[in-house]
């Protein structure tokens, strides 16, 4: 599947103090990173960012089942020349 990427920022008094990143890499492995500025740590912000990002990452594996429940049918799976990621073509079954 193509890389999936999520980035989220957390603010305190309208000032960015942290962010999280989720990126799918080769082999179904997902990288989840949560960062909080030193002066804003130990307040639960990093844990909240991490839990949100982890939930997003876990949800990505259910994409095809979700699509099927919404009426989409798999038409084709393929890998582009020189790539390793698998792509899936879906069509809405009317």
Q: What is the pLDDT of residues 28-65, one digit of tens each?
A: 667 788 899 999 899 988 888 888 887 777 776 556 67
Residue for token digits 């890998």? 79
DSSP 46-90: HHHHHHHHHHHHHHHTTHHHHHHHTTEEEEEEEE-TT---EEEEE
Q: What is this structure's pTM? A: 0.52
Tell me what pLDDT residue 74 has. Answer: 83
pLDDT surpasses 70 at 77: yes
């Amino acid at each position: 599947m193509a890389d999936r990427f999520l980035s989220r920022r957390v603010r305190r008094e309208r000032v960015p103090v942290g962010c999280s990143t989720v990126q799918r890499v080769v082999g179904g492995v997902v990288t989840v990173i949560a960062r909080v500025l030193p002066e804003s740590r130990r307040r639960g912000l990093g844990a909240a960012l991490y839990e949100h990002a982890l939930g997003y990452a876990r949800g990505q594996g259910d994409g095809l089942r979700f699509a099927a429940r919404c009426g989409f049918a798999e038409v084709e799976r393929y890998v582009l020349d020189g790539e390793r990621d698998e792509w899936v073509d879906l069509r809405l079954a009317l």
